[in-house]
Amino acid sequence: MRNGDSRLPSLKNRVAREAALLLYTAQEKEYKQAKERATENLGARILPSNLAVARELDAIAEELEGASRHERLVQMRKEALKIMQILDDFTPRLVGSVWRGAINKNSDIDIVAFASTPNAVLASLQESSFSIVKTEWLSVTKAGRKEASFHIYVALPSGNEAEVVVRSVEKMNLYEKCEIYGDRVTGLNGSQLVKVLKEDPLARFVP
């Protein structure tokens, strides 16, 4: 076979696949570390984009999980809706891989809620008999500024997990840029999720 044959995956694509495998097998949790380790494993110096890794991760999940992946996506979206209905006063939005429709075996349900006090959101979940695994404050640095958010981890009867991130009310109309796909993280509100489950429960929201 000739060198440079177009049928051969490029080195960048191989690194993306390796990084995706590291994420899928939970050897790494973050894209940055997965990409760096993948370059070391393959003796490469080139880093693929987060989007390239995400597409490989999506392909791996489809190859290995098949129909069960689709069934679990619908289940997780229904579970997300139940949580969002409980948190309706806090303008919840479904984000993350369950919103995207690109889940894998490691995925959890990611919901953002907005409140002046995180304890109000926590109390609503506790009053509805959800099993709270833990809560914590986490800080991230964005545009040179530290931002703190309150995280509530919920264990569901199905074995799935949900993470509810509580942000201040002032951030309700702010939409972040996705570090993986490069688009705006709009997510789905409750009524939008109801429509998706009714009309196209496997709908995908990826660029």
CA distances from 19 to 31, 41, 125 (A): 8, 10, 36
Looking at the fold, whether 99 and 157 belong to one and the same domain comes out as: yes
Range of the domain at 119: 67-199
pLDDT of amino acid 3:
46
CB atoms closer than 10 angstroms to residue 67:
7
Q: Tell me the CATH number at 84.
A: 3.30.460.10
> In this structure, what token pair is assigned to residue 120?
């109000």
Total number of domains in the chain: 2
Looking at the fold, whether 82 and 143 belong to one and the same domain comes out as: yes
Over its C-alpha atoms, the chain yields an Rg (Å, rounded) of: 19
Go through 105-137 and write b for each residue having 16 or more CB atoms within 10 A of its CB, e for each that does not: eebbbbbbbbbeebeebbebbeeeebeeeebee
pLDDT of amino acid 174:
84
Q: Which residues of the chain have pLDDT under 70?
A: 1-9, 142-143
Looking at the fold, whether 46 and 73 belong to one and the same domain comes out as: no
Residue 4 domain-assigned (yes or no): no
Looking at the fold, whether 21 and 57 belong to one and the same domain comes out as: yes
Spacing of C-alpha 113 from chain mean position: 15
Do the beta carbons of residue 42 and residue 14 sit within 8 Å?
yes
Which residue from 84, 100, 58 is spatially nearest to 187, judged by alpha carbons? 100
Residue 119 domain-assigned (yes or no): yes
Q: Helix, strand, coil % (nearest 5) of the chain?
A: 45, 20, 35
pLDDT of amino acid 143:
63
Do the beta carbons of residue 96 and residue 193 sit within 8 Å?
no
Looking at the fold, whether 129 and 143 belong to one and the same domain comes out as: yes
Residue 132 domain-assigned (yes or no): yes
